[in-house]
Amino acid sequence: MIGRRWLGGVLLVIALVVAGAAVRGDESRPKPSKSAKPLKVGQRPGESDEAFAKRRALLIRKAQKDKDELYTLRARPFIVRSDISSEFTTDAALYMEMLHREYKLAYRKMSLPAGDVKEWIEVIIFADRATYIRNGGTEGSGGQFMQWIFTDRPPTWPARHYRLMMFTNGVTKFSDWPKGVLKHEAAHMELQLRLGFGVDSPRWWNEGQASCFEDWDFDKSVDENLAEIPKRGRYAPVIRRLHGTKKFKPFAYVWEISPQSWHAAMTDEQGGLNYAQAWSLAAFMLNEGVNGRKAFQQIYGLSKRVGADRQISGTGTKTRAWEVKFPKDEQKKIESQWMAWIEKQLPKDRENPDEWMGLVNMGYDPRLKKLVRLGSYSKEQLAEFSREHKKRTGKSLRGLEEEDEKKSEAQASEDSGEEKEAADDERPKPSPKPKKSTKSKKPSTPADDDSEKKSGDGPSPREY
């Protein structure tokens, strides 16, 4: 969560870090009208193909390397930077513009304010994990959203408070890059823009709502996306198998979990299950309708007014505010509605189209009706899973089989190119990609992809 500490009169705000599992969603674009053909990624409603092509070409020319050897493009309200190419940087900027526009509609549906951006936001995308880590990325994470009073940029740098940072794991073509992490991080950003700089909120609520955006399809309307939350993604099949077992944590555990407890669980299976249960509680609120959205709005309003319940003032008034707004009987009511939603939307005899993909992604054996850790798996096992999944759905395990091949192609391309030189120790330095391993692949899960970060001057941040 976002913690706040005063140091010499300066408000320091922590970074938000999310799990960097290999989330893979369909290529997303703004939804077309019934009479119009689908828009290209980043194309504005009403913009002709010719006008869009000209605008994109102009932005590509503007996306030039800066003194840090990063392609940099200012496309208000975002300053997008990458070490990949001017084309990738431009497409990322166009995507962020589209994402900001579409998320605004989604949060409006939840009766949250517009979230208009009054300052620049920096978005940095590196090609490899090593460069991401050297530039402040949390070890083990796939990306992060940070809010801070940044001092690692020149005094004239306009993006002083908000920053998104992630890496592509070797993918250099924007259309080939899975964007689940980007969508998740952007949801943290969009919610924070509505809460306000430095305003804290419950850990499960912020992570849960961001997880609901991982599979957002921009070809569909907000109502369609909200309706499909329980029908897709990596968390739904986990909750389907987890609910009703001893591993399923009670409502109070999720509602009251502290940042310390959240991080302590990140090194074991419980870390992934925390994400799954947080997703399910937030998904109930976003998907269910009147009751769920009422609770979502109340949590937002109280967070904005007093911060998260873990923040206790000298007189204890902040904790008291949460107790008054959500007394035990109200919590039991929300819990009952949550359980009813799970039973209705995630029955154990149902299977989503991407059920197997989600389970493999989270590190569970997709062949079983209960949660059993898969451990590491070979390419042969993955091919077996894909064949069986295709028999059931007519589709392969979308993206999982192809991902290793794309990484290998990206590796070969990088190895054949000339190694870039960094100007000094402060600038991003591309590092050699590790040689392809013949070992079994370990599934990527939230438990593998999040850890505490220690960086920057002053107090170390507490993080997502």
The CA–CA distances, whole Å, from 282 to 51, 230, 294, 369 equal: 40, 11, 12, 24
CB of 218 closer than 8 Å to CB of 31 = yes
Across 186-215, average pLDDT: 94
CB of 145 closer than 8 Å to CB of 163 = yes
Can you give the pTM of this predicted structure?
Answer: 0.79
How far is the C-alpha of 188 from the C-alpha of 201, rounded, in Å? 11
The gap from C-alpha 219 to its chain's centroid, in whole angstroms, comes to 19
pLDDT at residue 34 greater than cutoff 80: no
**Total H helices, total E strands in the chain:** 16, 9
pLDDT at residue 18 greater than cutoff 80: no
> Which of 97-101, 262-266, 371-375 has maximum average pLDDT?
97-101
Per domain, the residue ranges of the chain are: 1-31+50-199+449-464, 203-350, 358-416
Give percent of the chain with pLDDT exceeding 90.
55
pLDDT of residue 41: 81
Across 11-30, average pLDDT: 36
How far is the C-alpha of 111 from the C-alpha of 304, rounded, in Å? 14
Tens-digit pLDDT profile for residues 332-353: 999 999 999 999 999 999 999 8
Report CA torsion sign: 454, 460, 462, 463: negative
Lowest mean pLDDT among 3-12, 97-106, 289-298, 369-378: 3-12
How far is the C-alpha of 455 from the C-alpha of 182, rounded, in Å? 22
String of b and e for 183-219 (b: at least 16 CB within 10 Å)?
bbbbbbbbbbbbbebbbbbbbbbbbbbbbbbbbbbbe
How far is the C-alpha of 456 from the C-alpha of 183, rounded, in Å? 26
How far is the C-alpha of 273 from the C-alpha of 334, rounded, in Å? 20
Tens-digit pLDDT profile for residues 264-308: 887 789 999 999 999 999 999 999 888 899 999 999 999 999 887
CB of 162 closer than 8 Å to CB of 122 = yes
Tens-digit pLDDT profile for residues 152-184: 999 899 999 999 999 999 999 999 999 999 999
Q: How would residue 370 be classed by pLDDT, with cut points 50, 70 and 90?
A: very high
Lowest mean pLDDT among 130-144, 300-314, 319-333, 420-434: 420-434
2 vs 327 pLDDT, higher one: 327
Across 126-136, average pLDDT: 95
From 83, 82, 114, 110, select the one nearest 95 (Cα to Cα): 82
